[in-house]
Structure 1
Amino acid sequence: MIDNLKYKQDVAAAAGCDLPWEKLNGKSFLITGASGLIGSFLTDVLMYRNINNGMNCHVIAMGRSVEKAKAVFGEYMDMDTFSFVSHDINLPLDSYEGKVDFLLHLASNTHPVAYSTDPIGTIASNIIGLKNLLDFAAEHGTERFAFASSNEIYGENRGDTELFDEEYCGYIDCNTLRAGYPESKRCGEALCQAYRRAKDMDVVIPRLTRSYGATMLKSDTKAISQFIKKGIAGEDIVLKSEGNQYYSYTYAPDAVTGLLTVILKGVDGEAYNIADEKSDIRLKDLAALIAGFSGAKVVFELPDKTEQLGYSKATKARLDSKKIKALGWQPAYTIETGIERTLQILTDK
């Protein structure tokens, strides 16, 4: 991926954003879930700054698979400013004794089939894994801790607003299998606030929305990821509902610059939506957009039982972005340009 011209352009553009990068000079930055959609792009951006701007930030990528890490981060493995740590975050982080100035917890199940087939793991990473990382950060004097939360904490739109701001709290039926993801994210946010008070920690909470990009995992079953994979393969794009769901989406480079904005400029204890109205779209229109770029057609198909268990019940989930934009963040891509670049990178055009 890193050799793809358009991907390199996206990395360079994100690395060139107007941010207080000097805060990372000589610091260490641990990222859990580093080989995922967002984590891998973030790692590439930080390493770009190290290589091209002399930032000298020690990037510590954490994940469970050494083989996967070598495939994703092979070119960095022998660099002094990069380390990979193989660890299951649901176990205490006793084996790593190095300095960590910034810690971003990104590791989590983030797609429907995983919610239904690994419900315990989904909850555990957002509560048990988070607690282990908070304990580590508290014991090692971490400068700032960031917990990547989700638009799903807002639940179902009650019809009283068009956009969810950071104070909104919608309905979630907690007594369901599917509630494991949003409720564990809600609990995770509360756990962060508890540690702030009890351990005098500095914590920020970026709330990501439905994200996509060329670094998506092959196992990702989110609707947008399935649409993209079908479009690339030249197959019919399968819509498993009427497609009236109205959601916010974020291209991975914008998600990463949003994360960095919150981490480097956000206020301790605050949550920030990372989203933009130019990337809000109905599911059926998203399917048609990808089909138009790829020359495929859209067909309708009923989901199987496993898929149904993992699907969100929310029909409208659009996020208000005024708070993060007040920090100076501006997205560089619309849903159209983000989708087009994703398809171009993945087909190497």
Structure 2
Amino acid sequence: MMKISNNIFFITLIFGTLLTISSNSWLGAWMGLEINLLSFIPLMNNNKKNLLTSESSLKYFLTQAFASSVLLFAIIMMMLFYNNNFNLIFNFNEMLILSMLLLKSGAAPFHFWFPEVMEGLSWTNSLILMTWQKIAPLMLISYNFIYNFFMISIILSMLIGSLGGLNQTSIRKLMAFSSINHLGWMLLAMMNNELLWMSYFLLYSLLSMSIILMFNNFKLYYFNQIFNMSMMNSTIKFLIFLNLLSLGGLPPFLGFLPKWLVIQNLTNMSQYFILFLCVCLTLITLYFYLRLSYSIFMLNYQKNSWMLKNNFNNKLSLFSLMLNFISISGLVMIFMFYMIM
């Protein structure tokens, strides 16, 4: 019964997002966001044994409800003053709408709720929050473009996403700050090309799914759990290491491709300062990925010469292996296809 209800909520979640991105009015988009919110809360709160899950679902509901109410207020004000010459009020409403959409997506400086909510979720719900829940707000943000406000949010997202992950011991919080940093890159891509940010988002979702499936398979939530990974296969450790490097955007992995496209686009537009700043801040995120990978590989532990019966699953599904293969060798395959064509 619980599984059937979860499937219904998941279908409603998809329907709410599709309603938002296909709506031709702000009011219809707001309705889609509300359907999406009310269907995700039960999915977040499906684990009754974990008190952090209830706390995270409450924080998420309060934050999103506040953003939705202010967004509805701004939409109503825009409808009232649309045909009048109140340019100041109209511009204020545009900034208010953009701010609330950034709050819904978890971009800085409205990111304060995102790591705290991620900390109490399962890996499956974390993946939904990092990927699917960003589709509707990002699509609406692309309709409401304010250059100066965008630049502030982009720089702060990359700065906070980079520095915020340095002192974390929780892998979920680290992934949350990494998501904030990637969101800054998506907004930067959105400023230049609509197809570019969609391509970035799709590749980021693929890479996040690949690494989170591995974390979920081995029940890894904190750095100190890596000390208990002596029973893990060395090949799986190597796959985790390479996936983290790919998510950090290190060539020749697939994660470098979306950043490469954005860098090329910025170079063509001669925006060298923002490009230099973004690359430097992204190197910091690569540092804390390497710190996690260093813990997996380099810690000195005694490995038992016998295998005990335990609940530790040391195998990956075929789907997870395929995602890992695409994440690690995807850029090489693209080069080969390009050379053949």
**TM-score normalised per structure 2:** 0.34
- Select the structure with the greater relative contact order (CA < 8 A; seq sep ≥ 6): 1
Flag the structure with higher strand content: 1
Flag the structure with higher helix content: 2
Rg larger for: 2
